[in-house]
Amino acid sequence: MRVLVVGAAGYIGEKFAEYTRGAADEMLVDIVDSYRGWKKVDFAPYDSVLFAAGIAHRKQNLVNKPLYFKVNRDLAVKVAKKAKDAKVPQFIYLSSMAVYGKKEGKISEHSKPMPRHNDYYGQSKLQAEQELKTLAKGSDFGLAIIRPPMVYGAGCPGRFQTLKKLSKFFPIVPDNRNKRSMIYINKLSEFLCMVIKQKKEGVFCPQDEKYVSTAALIRQFRRENGKATLVLPCLGWLVNLGKKICPALSTAYGTLVYERKVKTEGEFG
């Protein structure tokens, strides 16, 4: 099967291409940049196009707001239209758990996407999903939307990397037994391969088999650096103090998960 990945500068697209090169079965993957590279490529020979480009870690202010929608929504739709015109059987859009608009809580099969008013990342991803669904409706153009939680792995940018850096300064951490849905980059790449090979359509919410607590994550980071960690029973005041000092901990120490019964395939929700 031939796959075109749009998003050569993106972490997930790049790691997916690396993963498929090491796979036992044959999957020919080409990767192009999202600026002009995709415009020069003939889409017709491809069985699937994976749109892995995106703006995610820029400061979410009014200055950067147009950029979020230009790349995450408008560019995705342009690439999808070219794929549809070339009669590519499948288009995969890499969305995000952020479309649900939750900082804490559980996301069930009944949860409706509702990004926060100041979350341009989540808004742009959801608007892209909506336009892509309209484009695919009533046609042979297969659409798969992937909404992963926090992705982690070697060299991963974003919150995961921030927490990893902060862990160096926390030899003592409270264990408030929070839970986080996460997915390892190789597991996500494996999942994408399955979606492509089986020509899946629908909305997918892949995650690791086990939830992860922030305390366990920090302890693992420190262990990798040869540092010991003292994990204390939950100390509410310490967690609250940490949140005031470092806003990133507010997100890190909350519980945010996909419920296990959330469907990972099927009709669009």
Between helices 76-85 and 120-136, what is the axis angle to 10°? 20
State which amino acid sits at residue 108.
S
Residue in 46, 121, 211, 258 annotated catalytic = 121
- 161: which residues sit within 8 A by CB, 6+ positions away? none
Closest CA to 47 of 10, 92, 77: 92
Distances from the Cα of 11 to the Cα of 26, 119, 130, 258, angstroms? 22, 21, 24, 23
Q: Does the active-site annotation cover 93?
A: no
3-state DSSP assignment of residue 189: helix
Neighbours of 77 (CB within 10 A): 17
Closest CA to 269 of 202, 206, 198, 205: 202
- d(C-alpha 195, C-alpha 200), whole Å: 5
8 Å CB contact between 128 and 77: yes
Distances from the Cα of 168 to the Cα of 156, 158, 177, 225, angstroms? 17, 17, 20, 8
Between helices 185-197 and 11-21, what is the axis angle to 10°? 70
Distances from the Cα of 215 to the Cα of 107, 128, 163, 227, 241, angstroms? 22, 35, 11, 14, 16
- d(C-alpha 47, C-alpha 51), whole Å: 13
Point out the residues that are catalytic.
Answer: 121
